[in-house]
Amino acid sequence: MSVLARNYVPGLYVEDHSIRVPLDWRGADPADVMEHGLPESDGDTISLFYRVVTSPEHAHDELPLLVFLQGGPGGQCPRPVSPTDDGWIAEAVKHFRVILPDQRGTGRSSRIDAQTIARFGSDARAAADHLKLFLADSIVRDFEYLRLKEFDGVRWTSLGQSYGGFLTLTYLSLFPRGLAASFTTGGIPHVPADAVEVYARTFPRMAAKTRQYYARYPQDVERVAAVADRLASGDVTLPNGDPFSVRRLQMLGSDFGMKPSFERLHWLIDQAFTGGDGTVPLEKSAGESVEESVGERGASAAPVTLSTGFGMNVLARTASYERPLYWPLQEFIYADGELDAPIDWAAQHELDRHPEFAVDARPLMFTGEAALRWMFEEDSSLKPFLPAVELMMQDTRFGRIYDEDQLARNEVPLQAAVYFDDMYVDSGMQLDTLSRIGRSHAWVTNEFEHDGVHGSVVFGRLYREALERGDLAGPR
């Protein structure tokens, strides 16, 4: 196992590694590739980067292995600055050597971004077929090959957060022999997969989250409406030149399934306006003087001007520069094998059924985890992806990611944290799937939101339950 770098961060020992994996697995078994070798052409392989993280006192100990399946799609593994920076790590390094792989196309694993896709030029079909190689069936084959090649085929335990739970079920479907046990947090997909069903469940939840936000901060009803009214004029841009539209503002609800998202948005809206004490300004109507339109607010009110800092923060929270694959692949995580019908912008079709989300509706509703076509027209970091994504939206052939029969007879202990109020992954659908997976156990809680694993409680609770049940006593 070659090491690219070794270093210590406070409380952790970290090693960097990289291997080559096939770009296109073509459904191959990683064990067969181990036996017969990688493709001869370097152009047919890509880099898979991973880190091995331990506590300093266990740096040279042969502890069991825990591989982290990052959320996403298109999410790179965490770059910890301390054990408590990402809460589950502090608990995990007490018991495991932790493997943090960057999923293909992310981080340092042959990263894909707008520049990469732009190189395909006008060949949208080639770009679409390339993007299909960065979904769960390929990701899991990468990880199984990594286990066999670099870790002597030792069975490892997996921890899947969010989309990492989807990957967990793919792993359990395709290569259960590689897993000693599995944990998931907020990430059990519905099997069989159906994007239409997912968005039918999640849009009402998005609306409920918005109402909860306004109930907590009622003053923001007026403030958000004032921002939206100003954006509706159509002449506002973000600092990078992208249009600052009402739809872009609504995207801030993508954070509503995390804590403390309501507070983050409240303090962002708190500084939306320039001038005076930041009170919501009033536009004067035709024939009125500013003083007449202001009324009791006095001379400090003025026509609406949005602050530059507000625009910068909105850009940082809604642009895709850091996670360029997140939106292009979002709906295709529900594509499993031969589809009866194309996905065809499932979230957009569901949104069209909800007039309460209209850009001129007040109070303004915020959208959540929904990939919408306009994003690829307005977000400069997504524009190069649009032709390929359009084709993928009409495709019906994808890699197989779930084997329902294998899941039913599963013998790998699976411990799942199911967040009852999860905005992104419906808890009812999670529990339905778990009811049909062998040796699965659910801990259902409303104490945490979707990001609960990043605190100090969730993984420790799952680990103790699995340990006391004897689920971690199998062969390594």
| Tokens describing residue 189 | 């997909």
Integer angstrom CA distances of residue 330 from 39, 135, 196, 370, 426? 29, 10, 13, 8, 16
Residue ranges of the alpha helices (H) in 12-135? 30-36, 87-92, 114-118, 124-131
- Least Cα distance to 385 among 118, 146, 85 occurs for 118
The CA distance from 151 to 27, in Å, is 22
pLDDT at 1: 67
Residue ranges of the alpha helices (H) in 96-194? 114-118, 124-131, 136-150, 163-174
- Which range, of 63-72, 73-82, 258-267, 302-311, averages the lowest pLDDT? 302-311
- Which range, of 53-62, 239-248, 295-304, 455-464, averages the lowest pLDDT? 295-304
**What Rg, from alpha-carbon coordinates, does the chain have?**
24
Task: Assess whether pLDDT exceeds 50 at residue 186.
Answer: yes
pLDDT (tens digit, 9 = 90+) per residue, 81-121?
Answer: 999 999 999 999 999 999 999 999 999 999 999 999 999 99
pLDDT at 304: 82
> Residue 229's Cα: distance from chain center in Å?
30
| Tokens describing residue 430 | 């999670």
pLDDT at 251: 98
Task: Assess whether pLDDT exceeds 90 at residue 302.
Answer: no
Sequence length of the chain is 476
pLDDT at 298: 41
| Tokens describing residue 101 | 């792989």
Residue % of the chain over a pLDDT of 70: 94
The CA distance from 453 to 415, in Å, is 13
DSSP state letters, 256-322: TTSTTHHHHHHHHHHT-B-STT-PPP-PPPTT--HHHHHGGG-TT--S--B-HHHHHHHHHHH--SS
Confidence of residue 299 (pLDDT cuts 50, 70, 90): very low
pLDDT at 295: 40
Bridge partners of residue 6, in order along the sequence: 15
For 5-193+401-469, CATH gives 3.40.50.1820
Where are the chain's structural domains?
5-193+401-469, 195-272+307-394
pTM above 0.85, yes or no: yes
Average pLDDT, the chain: 93
Residue 45 phi, psi (nearest 5)? -125, 160
Residue 187 phi, psi (nearest 5)? -150, 35
Task: Assess whether pLDDT exceeds 70 at residue 328.
Answer: yes
- Amino acid 114 reads A
Report the SS3 class of residue 15: strand
Cis peptide, bond prior to residue 192, ω within 30 of zero: yes
pLDDT (tens digit, 9 = 90+) per residue, 332-362?
Answer: 999 999 999 999 999 999 999 999 999 999 9
Strands 97-101 and 65-69: parallel
pLDDT at 474: 60
pLDDT at 290: 34
| Tokens describing residue 154 | 């030792």
- Which range, of 303-307, 356-360, 426-430, averages the lowest pLDDT? 303-307
Task: Assess whether pLDDT exceeds 50 at residue 294.
Answer: no
DSSP state letters, 25-44: -TT--HHHHHHH-S-SSGGG
Structural contact between residues 368 and 423, judged by C-beta atoms closer than 8 angstroms: yes
DSSP state of 222: H
Structural contact between residues 392 and 131, judged by C-beta atoms closer than 8 angstroms: yes
Residue with tokens 């990001």: 451
